Structure 1
Amino acid sequence: MFSFSDQNGFCGRRCVWVNGPVIVGAGPSGLAVSACLKEQGIPFVVIERSDCIASLWQKRTYDRLKLHLPKKFCQLPKLEFPEEYPEYPSKKQFIAYLENYAQKFDIKPQFNECVQSAKYDDACHLWRVITVSTNGSTQSETEYICQMLVVASGENAEGVVPEIDGLKDFTGEVIHAKDYKSGEKYAGKKVLVVGCGNSGMELSLDLSNHNAKPSMVVRSSVHVLPREIMGKSTFDLATMLMKWLPLWLVDNILLILTWFILGDTQKYGIKRPSLGPLTLKNHHGKTPVLDIGTLERIRSGDIDVVGGIKRFNHTSVELVNGETLDIDSVVLATGYSSNVPYWLQETEFFAKNGFPKTPFPNGWKGKCGLYASGFTRRGLAGASADAIKISQDIAKVWKKELNHKKQKVPSHRRCISTF
C-alpha cells in the first residue's frame, strides 16, 4: 500500500493504492476475512468507521448480552475460544476474544474512516473507495484504489426506527435497542418494548429483573424455542437431526419438544407462524427466539404481552384493540438493517435491502472482484464460512496475477531481485 496527494487538491483528498483487497468493516466478518488472508500472505486494508473493532458489540449492545448459540458455532476461523470460557460466552468475553483475534493476526484497521462511496471504474478495471475521516476536529477524504472489494459492514449496521403515528409527540424517553445498556435506571417505570425478537425478549427480561414494568408489543407471529432441549443446545440438536432427516420433519420434532417444555405460547399472546422455525429461517431469514427465561416472566405476569400499536399520545400508547396504556419510556427493539445501499454504487450483486441477491450459500461472490462477507443471515458461523471461501478465491486470483507478472520479467532481472 502506498499513498499520494491529489495533484489538483480536490477537497484535499489523499489517494491510496492498495496492493490487495479493501475490506469494509472491522466486525467479526471483516476480522475473519483479514485473518484468512493474513495466513496466505496477501496484503489488505481494513476500513472501519468507528474507533474500535466490533463496534456493534462494544458500543451498541446491552450489558447482559450473551451469545445465543454455543461457542463452537460462534468462533472465527483459525482460533478457538479459550477452554475456560462458558458454553455461552458473555459480551465481555466475546469482545476479549475478538481483540485477541485481531492481535494474533496483526490486524490493524484504518479507524474513524466512514465510507462515502465505492464504485467500480470500468475504464481502469479498479474499485474506487472514498472515505471521510473524522479524527477530532479535522476532516479529510481518502480514496482507496484496489482491484478487489470485500463488503463486511454487516447485516446489523443501522438500527431500524419505524414510523409510528404519534411517536414524535410522546414526551417520555424513546431509544432504540442499540442504545439500551441496562434496566437499572428504569426501576419502577412502565416501559413499552416494541418488538418480540431475541432483543425484545431479552430486554423485557432485563427490565423485569430490575423491577421495571415492561409491556412487550407482539404484533406478528414468532417462534419461541427453548435454548436447550434435554441439556443439549437446540441449535446443535437441529444441526444433528438435519444430517439424517428432511427439514420439515426436523421442524415438527422441534415444535413437539418445544410444546412439552414451554407449553402453548399462544395462551400468552404469542402466535406461531405457519411455517416451521427452520423453514422460516431458511426461506425468509427470520430467526426464531431462543428463550432464556422471558416466557416464565410472561406466565407470572411480570412481563405483559400486548398487541399492535395504533398510535402514541403524550404519555400513553393506544393499541389496535382499543386499549390504552400509560407508559414512561419506549424501547424500540425493531431490528437492524444493512447500510450497503447508502455507499456501494452497485445494483447487480446487492439488492435494495443491502443483501446479496444470490441466496445462500452462493451469495459471497459478485463480479469484478466484489465479495460479501457476513450477509448469510446465519450468524457468526455464516460469516466464518464466507471468510474461508473469499480468502481462498482471492488467493487464487492473487497467485495467478503474481505468476503472470513474474513471466513478464526477464530471467536475469528475476535473479537480481532475489538479493
Structure 2
Amino acid sequence: MFNFSGQSDSFGRRFVWVNGPVIVGAGPSGLAVSACLKEQGVPFVLIERTDCIASLWQKRTYDRLKLHLPKKFCQLPKLPFPEEYPEYPTKKQFIAYLENYAQKFDIKPRFNECVKSARYDEACHLWRVVTVSTTGPTRSETEYICQMLVVATGENAEGVVPEIDGLQEFSGEVIHVKDYKSGAKYSGKKVLVVGCGNSGMEVSLDLSNHNAKPSMVVRSSVHVLPREIMGKSTFDLAMLLMKWLPLWMVDKLLLILAWFILGNTQKYGIKRPSLGPLQLKNHHGKTPVLDIGALQKIRSGDITVVPGIKRFNSKSVELVNGETIDVDAVVLATGYCSNVPYWLQETEFFGKNGFPKTPFPNGWKGKNGLYASGFTRRGLAGASADAIKIAQDIVKVWTEDLNQKKQKVPHLRRCMSTF
C-alpha cells in the first residue's frame, strides 16, 4: 500500500489513500484499536465526528455518573487505571484516563469529520469512506480509500426517542437522558423519568437528591441487583462463580443474594424477568440494574414507581392503569442505538439494528477487511477484547500486504482512474 493525498475531483472532494485501516469513532473502542496498532507500527486514520475523543462521555452523560463496574473490568489495553483511582472511577476521572491514553499512544484523531457513507468497491477491492466536515461555513468532503475498515462507533451512538401519544402536546421540558446533566434545576418540580434501566434509576436518584419529585416509569420487567455483595463487586463475584458453576446456577445464587439484600422488588412495582440476569444479558443484551441507592428512595417514597404511559396531555400524563399525574418535565431514559445502518452500505455482516449478525465472541470480523469493535454488549471489557483481536488480525494482513507492496502499486494506480 502507499499513501497519496491531496487529489481532488471537479466537485471539490479530496481523496486520501490510507496505508492501513480507517477507524470510525474516537470513543474507547476506537482508541483501544488505535493504541494496539500504534504499538505494532501499523499506520491508520482515526475519524471522529465531534471535536473531542469520547464525546459520549464528555458531552452526553450526567454529572454524577461513575463506572458501574470495578475499574479492572473497564481499563483499555496496554494501560491500567492509576492506582490512586477509586474502585469505581468518576466521569471526570474516566475522561482524564482516556485523554492520557490518547496522549501516551500519540493518537491524533481527525476531528469534526462525520462519515456520510462507507462502501466496499468490489472492482478495486477497496473501501471508500466519504466524510463531511462539520466545521466552517462551507461543506467539504473527503474520501478515504483503504483496504480495511474498523467500525468503532459503538452501541450508544444515538439516543432513542420513542413515539408516545400526545408527547408533542406536552407543554413542559422534554429531554433525552443524554442531555441531562444534573437535577439541580429541577428542585421542587415533578419530573417523569421514562425508563428504569441504569440511567433511569440513577437519574431518578439524582433528581430526588436535588429535592425534585421524580416518578419513574417501569413498563417492563427488570433485574435489580446490589452493586456489591459482602463488600465484593457483584459482577466480580459472578465472574468468579462462573468458573465453577453453570450459568443458570450462578443466576439463582445472585437472585437469592439480591433478595436478602434488597428484598422483594416486586412489591415496589418492579417485576423480575423470567430469565436470570446473566442469561438475559447473554441472550438479549439487556443489562441488569446495579443499585446504588435508588431502591432505598423507592422504599421511602421519594421516588414513585408508575406503570406504562397511555398518553400525554398539556401538563399531565395518563397511565395505563387509568391514573393521571401532573408533570412539570420529562426525562427520556429510553436507551441508545447504533447509527451504523445510516452510513455503512453493507448488510451481510451488520444487521438492521446496527450490530454484527454473528454472535459473541465472533462478531468482531466480517469480510473484505471489515471489523467491528465495541458491539459485544459487554461494556468496556468487551471493547478491549475486540481491539486486541482486531489489531492482531490487521497486523497480520498489513505485514503480508507490505511484503507484496511492489506488486500492488500498479493495481492501485489503475483503480485511481475509477474515482
TM-score range, shorter chain: over 0.9
Partner residue in 1 for 2:199: 199
Instruction: Give SS of 2:361's match.
Output: coil
**1:69 lines up with 2:96 in the alignment:** no
Partner residue in 2 for 1:413: none
Counterpart of 1:156, as a letter, is N
Instruction: Give SS of 1:56's match.
Output: helix
Report 1:45-56 matches (<5 A): 45-56=45-56
Post-superposition offset of 1:2: 3.3
Counterpart of 1:197, as a letter, is G
- TM-score of the superposed pair, with normalisation by structure 2: 0.96
Partner residue in 1 for 2:135: 135
CA RMSD of aligned residues (A): 1.1
Counterpart of 2:278, as a letter, is L
Partner residue in 2 for 1:415: none
Report 1:5-24 matches (<5 A): 5-7=7-9, 9-10=10-11, 12-24=12-24
1:320-349, CA deviations, whole angstroms, 9 ceiling, x for partnerless residues? 000000000000000000000000000000
Partner residue in 2 for 1:295: 295
Q: Structure 1 residues 406, 137: closer, same or farther in 2, change over 3 A?
A: closer
Post-superposition offset of 1:405: 3.2
Counterpart of 2:5, as a letter, is S
Partner residue in 2 for 1:321: 321
Instruction: Give SS of 2:331's match.
Output: strand
Looking at structure 2, the residues matched to 274 and 406 of structure 1 have their Cα atoms a distance apart, in angstroms, of: 60
1:159-189, CA deviations, whole angstroms, 9 ceiling, x for partnerless residues? 0000000000000000000000000000000
Report 1:71-220 matches (<5 A): 71-220=71-220
Counterpart of 2:289, as a letter, is V
Instruction: Give SS of 1:19's match.
Output: coil
Counterpart of 1:170, as a letter, is F
Gapped regions of structure 1 (runs ≥ 5): 410-419
Post-superposition offset of 1:408: 9.4
**1:229 lines up with 2:229 in the alignment:** yes
Report 1:227-266 matches (<5 A): 227-266=227-266
1:46-105, CA deviations, whole angstroms, 9 ceiling, x for partnerless residues? 000000000000000000000000000000000000000000000000000000000000
Post-superposition offset of 1:139: 1.9
Instruction: Give SS of 1:341's match.
Output: helix
Partner residue in 2 for 1:274: 274
Instruction: Give SS of 2:139's match.
Output: strand
Partner residue in 1 for 2:38: 38
Counterpart of 1:355, as a letter, is F
Counterpart of 1:165, as a letter, is D
Report 1:355-374 matches (<5 A): 355-374=355-374
Looking at structure 2, the residues matched to 243 and 408 of structure 1 have their Cα atoms a distance apart, in angstroms, of: 48
Partner residue in 1 for 2:337: 337
Looking at structure 2, the residues matched to 113 and 2 of structure 1 have their Cα atoms a distance apart, in angstroms, of: 19
Instruction: Give SS of 1:390's match.
Output: helix
Looking at structure 1, the residues matched to 146 and 401 of structure 2 have their Cα atoms a distance apart, in angstroms, of: 14
1:129-167, CA deviations, whole angstroms, 9 ceiling, x for partnerless residues? 000002122220000000000000010000000000000
Partner residue in 1 for 2:5: 3
Partner residue in 2 for 1:417: none
Counterpart of 1:305, as a letter, is V
Looking at structure 2, the residues matched to 225 and 164 of structure 1 have their Cα atoms a distance apart, in angstroms, of: 29
Instruction: Give SS of 2:342's match.
Output: helix
Gapped regions of structure 2 (runs ≥ 5): 410-419
Looking at structure 1, the residues matched to 266 and 195 of structure 2 have their Cα atoms a distance apart, in angstroms, of: 16
Post-superposition offset of 1:402: 1.7
Looking at structure 1, the residues matched to 48 and 240 of structure 2 have their Cα atoms a distance apart, in angstroms, of: 37
Instruction: Give SS of 1:135's match.
Output: coil
Post-superposition offset of 1:6: 2.1
For these two proteins, the number of residue pairs brought into alignment is 407
Post-superposition offset of 1:407: 8.7
Looking at structure 2, the residues matched to 70 and 240 of structure 1 have their Cα atoms a distance apart, in angstroms, of: 14
Partner residue in 1 for 2:414: none
Looking at structure 2, the residues matched to 263 and 161 of structure 1 have their Cα atoms a distance apart, in angstroms, of: 32
Looking at structure 1, the residues matched to 404 and 116 of structure 2 have their Cα atoms a distance apart, in angstroms, of: 34
Looking at structure 1, the residues matched to 97 and 389 of structure 2 have their Cα atoms a distance apart, in angstroms, of: 22
Looking at structure 1, the residues matched to 404 and 211 of structure 2 have their Cα atoms a distance apart, in angstroms, of: 67
